[in-house]
Structure formats: C-alpha cells, structure tokens
Structure 1
Amino acid sequence: MNKFRLTLVASACLLAAAPAFAQNGVTLSRQDKQFLRRDAHGSAYEKALSELALQKAASPEIKDFAQRDISAHTQLNQQAQQIAQQNGMTLPGKLTKKQQTRFNHLKSLDSKAFDTAYVQEMKRINQSDRTEDQRELQSTQNAQLKQFVQNGETMDAEHADAAQKLQTANNAVK
C-alpha cells in the first residue's frame, strides 16, 4: 500500500510540473506569454464584432464573413487555451477598455454604416495581426506556439483578403 501511495504522490508531482513545459520541452518566454495575452484580447474583440455583425449587418456577404470569422476564432481559441493551460497561464476573455469603446461605437451605428465600419475594422485588425504573427514566428522557440501562430497568420491573411474583397464589392470605402 505504501508503494502505491508513493507512486501516486510521484505522479501527482510530475503532473503538477508538466504545465511548465510545452510539448517540445521549451517553456514560453515572457514575450510568448505577452503575445498569447494580446492575441486572446484580439480574438475576443474580433469574435464579439462578428457576433454583432450577425445581428446588425445589412449585407448577407458580411454576415457570411462574420460567421466564418466566429468559427475560425473558436477553433484558434481552443488551441490558445490548450497552450496556455500547458504553460500554467490563464488567458483573458474580455475586451480591453479601448476595444470595448470601439465595439460600443460600432454597435451604435445603423446597418449600412455598420457594414462599412465593420469591414474596415476587420481589415485593419487582420493586417495588424499578420504583422504581430510574423514577429512572433521569428522569436518563439516553442514548437507548439509556432504552429498556433502559423495557423493564425494563415487565417489573418485569408480574412484580410476577404475583408478587402467585401470592401470593394460593397463600396464600403469611397
């Protein structure tokens, strides 16, 4: 029985230490953790905007884009949460004050003005995210985070292109 308890205690200790190491044995750097936190805020903001677009957008194409954005961010958020948990982190799920202010502004717009502002904001966000993703890809040593960032960068590129096409098709910017 003592041998069983010793094994149980040893297993518990190993499990407690496991979150400090990613799958490839490389812990997240301070910069990696900051990236994940910024990414979590950004993802929450994009998802909130897209949920709003499902309610407010006049254009069916924009509603379709919003639904794809929600689905993509839901999948990426699951990956980010897994990486964070394995590294003893809790990611924020709320908008920053600046994001909340911008969200409230878009929420106050009528449908046509919302369409224009939403597409502009999504284009801006995804272009900015691509820059941050590329910077993180260059600096991270963590293979799991690198894969997550590559997935996010691919999504950001697709969404930036889609927003540009929506902008052109809907004459959102004159």
Structure 2
Amino acid sequence: MKTYVRWAFAAALLPLAACAEHPKPPPAPPSPPAFTDADMTFIEKAAQTNAFEIATANLATAQSHNPKIKSFAAQMVSDHTSNQDKLSGIASQHGQTLSTDLNTDEEHVLDTLKAEKGRAFDHDYAQLQVAGHRDALALFQAEAQGGSDPALKAYAAETVPTVQSHLDMAQTLEQHDHHRRRHHH
C-alpha cells in the first residue's frame, strides 16, 4: 500500500514538474547588419566633426569677446553634443563606439586658435566655421542620399537642415567680421 501511495503521489507531482520547466526564451531580435565601409567612414567623420566643433566652440565661448561669436559657439556646443548623442546611439545599436579624439590637423588648428586673441581669433574662428560646415554639409548630404544603413540615412537627412542653418549663421558671422575689419583699418 505504501508503494502505491508513493507512486500515486509521484504521479500527481508530474504535471507540476512539467509546469516548472523553464519555457524557452523568445528568440533575440536579429542584430542589424554590420555597417558598410562607407557608413563606417561617415560615422568616423561625423563623430570627429562633432568633437572638433565642440572643442573649438568651447574655446570660442572662453576666448571671444564678441557676443555674436559667443552666442553662436554656445549653440554649436549644444547642437553638436545632441548630434553626437544621436550618432552614438545608432553606432551602439551596431556594437560600435565613437571615437571623439581629434586628428593631428585638428589639434594643430585648435592650438593655433588658443594662441590667438581678439579680432584675429574671431576672424579665424568664423572662417573655420564656414569651411567646416561646408564640409559637414557635403558629408551629411552624401550619406542621406547614398548611405546603406536606414538609421544612418535618416539621421543624416534629419541633420542636413541643422548643418545648413549653422553654415548660414557662420557665413553671417564671417561677413560681419569682414565688414568690421574693413571699417576699422
């Protein structure tokens, strides 16, 4: 009789044991395909552009006495930091991390700017912003039109109007600086 009770008890526990089995976890979402070499080049250039813009803008807010330059520079820090955060999010979804190191040429330009004061600084900073934003505009337009990764293409397309706005503002600063230089010489 005891054996029967043990078997009956064991049989009663079998359905509970089946319930205790761990269900298979849902399949992991497929990882996005790896970036193409062209997309990786875009990411690296865009990240480096953002880092350089932030570094030079921080310098401008500290060194310039021109309120228009300071205001523009503060906006550059804000916009490029936000832009870098968006780019970093896309890159991390693909297992990539952004490098924010400046290249040797950018370090040299930054060192040159650090040594400048007054109108010379403002003039060179404004010129640098025009040239940099022209290059950035071409970079982002090319990715928006010909990139392979949908998220990067969308990011680039959404960023183009901001870069165009920055270029327009930088050109205004440069023209204002040119006008001031002509009337003070």
Deviation of the 1:152 alpha carbon: 2.3
* Residues 1:36 and 2:43 aligned together: yes
**Number of equivalenced pairs:** 162
2:147 to 137, 140, 163: 140
Deviation at 1:111, TM superposition (A): 2.2
2:22 corresponds in structure 1 to: 3
- RMSD (Å) for aligned C-alpha atoms: 1.9
Q: What SS class does the counterpart of residue 22 from structure 2 fall into?
A: helix
The residue aligned with 1:96 is 103
Q: Does 1:78 align with 2:85?
A: yes
Structure having the higher Rg: 2
Amino acid at match of 2:109: R
Q: Which whole-Å CA distance do the structure 1 matches of 2:46 and 2:181 have between them?
A: 27
What is the 5 A alignment of 1:14-29? 14=28, 18=31, 21=32, 27-29=34-36
Match of 2:160 in 1: 153
Provide the TM-score with structure 1 as the length reference. Answer: 0.85
Gaps of 5+ in 2: 1-19
Structure 1 portions without partners, runs of 5+: none
- How many percent identity over aligned positions? 25
- Structure 1 counterpart of 2:160, which letter? E
CA contact (8 A) 1:167 1:173 kept: no
Report the secondary structure of 1:88's partner residue: coil
Q: Counterpart of 2:86 in 1: which secondary structure?
A: helix
Q: Does 1:126 align with 2:146?
A: no
Instruction: Give 1:173 deviation, angstroms.
Output: 7.0
What amino acid is the match of 1:149? Answer: A
Q: Distance in 1 between matches of 2:22 and 2:118?
A: 68
Residues 1:67 and 2:74 aligned together: yes
**What is the deviation of 1:69?**
0.7
Q: TM-score, normalised by structure 2?
A: 0.80
Residue identity in the other structure for 1:82: G
